[in-house]
Amino acid sequence: MLITSATQSDDPSNLHDLALAAYQAGRFDDADSLADQILQHDLAHVGALHLKGLRAYASGDATSALTWLDRAIRIKPEPILYNTLYAIHLSLGNYVAAIDSLRQGLALEPNFAVLHYNLALTLQHHERLDEAAISYRRTLELEPSNSSAQNNLGRIHADLGALDQAERHYRRALELSPTNLVARNNLAMALLAAGRYEEAWPYFEDRWISFKHVDGRPARVPVQVPLPRWHGERRATDGDASTASASANNLLVLDEQGFGDSLQFVRYLPLLLARFDRVGYVCPPPLRRLYEQSLGGARGPNLALLDATPADLSDWDCHCPLMSLPMAFRTRLDTIPDELPYLHADARQTAAWRARLDALPNAQRPRIGVVWAGGHSGIAVDRLRSLSFTQIAPLLTLPHLHWISLQKADDPAKRADAGADTDAGGDISSTSHPNPRHPLNALTDWTDELADFADTAALIANLDLVISVDTSVAHLAAAMGKPVWLLNRFAGCWRWLRERDDSPWYPGLRLFTQTRRGDWDDVLARVAGALLQRFPYAAAPRRHPTQEQPEPRQPRVQQPN
């Protein structure tokens, strides 16, 4: 229990100093008790009312917090009170009121840097990027050493496609604060998107700072185990004693991030088998069966797919996170391992899906798989990369094509039937022919029967083309050697680079990228035109996709450093 002297109790100023110190130290109950003592002597003490509001906010009682702040502001409006009011409205999801609170505070004190920063942050979160940039610049005028403002301004430039300006701000953020890991990760994204891989990989090691749980919460802990880290060193048996690690015979590879990342970087596992006697990969369960049937020939007993990180690590000499393998192999744009296919569907499952597809009406029509939305609805990037069914539906009315849904929904709003009442039968291209079919009737949806990626692969093996947003199915189909048309957001993921319509990671992938931020109509119109060029009538007898042989490619050998 907090005890104060009689002198202190008689002096609200001293009590307020004590209460403020207690709050800043996290002793919220003490701060609350001292504020009550102040209010017993002075019901209009703004500082004590503010502390009561802060205490209520800290305990999760936003309604009471608003009441205390309103009382304080009616007595004496102060900029700091509006900053707290902003935080309370933000916690309630009332972004309009939150922004209004900041603007009211700035009307009282135009040079309050914290208010400008919080205004910029909130505007940025709600995609009002030009306005946010203005507020960040004002923040930096008032507080030039603000590393976070430099980093966030860089992120705005990156989102608007200005990588050079983004890089400049990220580097300035790091000059101001070398431990700003968010800026290091963002600089990695900019360098990778520019194709400057060798320069980027060391910064990419701090990618864990941006990891998210499925619900959007930060997961800011890097994957690691108490084993030495492998950075690409050769073993003594490889003939380079100067960089040899003679005792590192067994490597444990740790999984991280999403399914798409695993599908893209699992290509490195066969390369590791040329360096280690045994390789273990902690494999996500939905990918396990696909990898077993795909990597079986290459792995034999030397590649172990593990359900979880072993509790007993005695069988392993060193470890490496999956997405650090490109750095370990010194990957450049011209040395990306791109031999396709490296993932394969099970022949029996493939045949079963083929029989079902052949039994459909108009079975001779080209079969096109479609994915219009990504997973992880809680993360911000999903709003940028995903379409609604209403948006994609007009594409499904193009004639002479058979659309196969590959859309697995983590949110009911992403399902095809979520747009069932929408009139989406109009044309999306001036060259398309009117089609009276409702898009739902044009879509065959067996996704409820797809339990894992091996099931999805077997269905994809029977398709002629996959059209997908930037999500795991696009990686799966591309790694199988299928033609993939990727619906790519403006200034999209680093792996698709910039100002290209192809990908060095997947030679069979074609990019359809937004030319304006958020504009999917133009993308879909270009896709519609490309479909009508590729399949002008689609009347010829079909040849099963599984009978097609990919064009042979010259193997590319990549060595670690």
DSSP letter string over 163-223? Answer: HHHHHHHHHHHHHH-TT-HHHHHHHHHHHHHTT-HHHHHHHHTTGGGG-B-TTS-B-----
Order across the sheet with 402-405: list the strands: 443-444, 402-405, 367-371, 465-469, 484-488, 509-513
| Domain 347-547, architecture per CATH | 3-Layer(aba) Sandwich (3.40)
373 near 507, Cβ under 8 Å? no
Look at residue 210 in the predicted model and tell me its pLDDT: 84
228 near 248, Cβ under 8 Å? yes
What's the rounded Cα separation, in Å, for the pair 154 and 169? 5
Look at residue 378 in the predicted model and tell me its pLDDT: 58
Look at residue 219 in the predicted model and tell me its pLDDT: 67
pLDDT confidence bin for 561, thresholds 50/70/90: very low
Indicate whether 180 pLDDT > 80: yes
What's the rounded Cα separation, in Å, for the pair 81 and 69? 7
The average pLDDT across 365-391 equals 88
Q: Look up the CATH number of domain 6-195.
A: 1.25.40.10
Rounded alpha-carbon distances, angstroms, from residue 367 to 352, 426, 434, 536 = 16, 21, 20, 14
Residue 5 is which amino acid? S
The average pLDDT across 134-162 equals 98
320 near 221, Cβ under 8 Å? no
437 near 402, Cβ under 8 Å? no
317 near 547, Cβ under 8 Å? no
Indicate whether 313 pLDDT > 50: yes
Question: What's the chain's Rg over C-alpha atoms?
Answer: 28
Structural domain spans, the chain: 6-195, 236-335, 347-547
Look at residue 297 in the predicted model and tell me its pLDDT: 61
Tens-digit pLDDT profile for residues 217-260: 666 677 889 999 999 998 655 555 444 444 569 999 999 888 99
Look at residue 223 in the predicted model and tell me its pLDDT: 81
Look at residue 376 in the predicted model and tell me its pLDDT: 67
SS3 state at 371: strand
pLDDT confidence bin for 442, thresholds 50/70/90: confident
Average predicted confidence (pLDDT) for the chain: 88
CA angle 403, 406, 408 (to 5 degrees): 140
Residue 207 is which amino acid? R
Residue 447 is which amino acid? T
pLDDT confidence bin for 16, thresholds 50/70/90: confident
What's the rounded Cα separation, in Å, for the pair 424 and 510? 26
What's the rounded Cα separation, in Å, for the pair 241 and 250? 18
What's the rounded Cα separation, in Å, for the pair 484 and 465? 6
* Region of poorest pLDDT, from 21-35, 46-60, 390-404, 411-425: 411-425
The average pLDDT across 403-416 equals 82
Neighbours of 43 (CB within 10 A): 11
69 near 75, Cβ under 8 Å? no
Look at residue 8 in the predicted model and tell me its pLDDT: 47
Tokens of 468: 């997908």
pLDDT confidence bin for 466, thresholds 50/70/90: very high
What's the rounded Cα separation, in Å, for the pair 508 and 158? 27
Kindly report the three-state secondary structure assignment for every residue of 286-347.
HHHHHHHHHHHHHHHHHEEEECCCCCCCCCCCEEEEHHHHHHHCCCCHHHCCCCCCCCCCCH
What's the rounded Cα separation, in Å, for the pair 467 and 534? 13
Indicate whether 372 pLDDT > 80: yes
Of 48, 66, 70, 47, whose CA–CA distance to 57 is shortest? 66
What's the rounded Cα separation, in Å, for the pair 121 and 115? 10
Look at residue 147 in the predicted model and tell me its pLDDT: 98
Kindly report the three-state secondary structure assignment for every residue of 239-257.
CCHHHECCCCCEEEEECCC
Tokens of 51: 């502390």
Indicate whether 548 pLDDT > 50: no
Indicate the DSSP class of residue 107: H
197 near 326, Cβ under 8 Å? yes
